[in-house]
Amino acid sequence: MRVRAANPRYAGCLLQLIILATVPWPSCAADGPWSASIDATTDYVFRGISQTYDRGAVQVGGNYQDPQGWFAGIWGSNVNPYPLAASAVELDFYAGISRPLGGDFNARITYTRYQYVHDPRPARYDYDELQLSASYLDLLTVSVSYQPDLTQYSDLGFAQHKPSLDYELAARWPLPMGLAVDGGIGYYDLQHLFDVSYWAANLGARYTYRRASLELIRFFAAANASRLYAGAGANGTWVLTASFRY
């Protein structure tokens, strides 16, 4: 893990996340309707792209799960958004509903609002996402995500309020003694933005003890990811994450 001196803006971002982490969520027992999490990771990789330019991140969130299947929550992380790599905060507000499909299958619809706070980039990069997913137990999840108004800058140009689609498959295989193997693969269709698409994948191992876990993941990304985002593509990147759920 690299250790870097924190600049004042970065320290301010971390302070906001720490405050969010210490909010006294009602009934925060792991088996109740309220839950919360705090993670420390060596790199924040999202869909094959590093959001922190190989730097560490602190990530916190809170979630409410209704017995009828409705849920809502907030999640945040410090980021160094492309292309300036200056410090900002990503806040994700989400809500949705989960319903059984019969047997061991479930379906879920999630709406997420991605917002960037203290973002030094001149354009607004906030966007919305609608995700449909189906899962088998806690072992296999297939999802399709649609962003109707994505704004992005890449080495191929600047695109504003364009639609994009993501297709993802995630799998988890539990092992004895609190161990598990996790993996996933995704295809990201940015044809409306840059006439380019790319795939990314990850494979890792997780150890869980009560409410704490430690995970080591290797990320892979196609050459088009680096073509789009230069050094932010996470091909071959190893990431270590420590998490606590309460």
In a domain, 181, yes or no: yes
Kindly state whether residue 3 falls inside one of the protein's structural domains: no
Give the CATH number, domain containing residue 154: 2.40.160.40
| pLDDT score at 31 | 64
What percent of the chain is predicted at pLDDT more than 90? 77
Residue 21 included in any domain: yes
What pLDDT is stored for residue 16 in this prediction?
Answer: 52
Mean pLDDT over residues 86-104, rounded? 93
The model's pLDDT over 12-49, given as tens digits with 9 standing for 90+, comes to 555 555 445 445 545 444 568 999 999 999 999 999 99
The reported pLDDT for the residue numbered 86 is: 80
Whether residue 84 is contained in a domain is answered as yes
**Residue 31: left (phi > 0), alpha (psi -120 to 50), or beta?**
alpha
Look at residue 89 and tell me if it is in a domain: yes
Check residue 94 and give its pLDDT: 98
CA 1 distance to own-chain centroid: 20
For residue 189, the model assigns a pLDDT of 98
Q: Whole-angstrom Cα distance, residue 212 to residue 93?
A: 24
Q: Region of 161 please: left (phi>0), alpha (psi -120 to 50) or beta.
A: left
Position 11 pLDDT exceeds 70: no
Residue 165 is part of which domain span? Answer: 8-245
Does 87 or 129 have the greater pLDDT score?
129
Distance separating alpha carbons of residues 29 and 210, to the nearest angstrom: 12
- Residue 203 included in any domain: yes
Average of per-residue pLDDT values in the chain: 89
Residue 9 pLDDT more than 80? Answer: no
CB 22 within 8 A of CB 240: no
1: in domain = no
pLDDT tens, position by position, 151-208: 999 999 999 999 999 999 999 999 999 999 999 999 999 999 999 999 999 999 999 9
Number of structural domains the chain divides into: 1
Q: Which residue type sits at 182? A: D
Q: What is the pLDDT of residue 17?
A: 53
Query: How does residue 6 score in pLDDT terms, banded at 50, 70 and 90?
Result: very low
Mean pLDDT over residues 134-157, rounded? Answer: 96
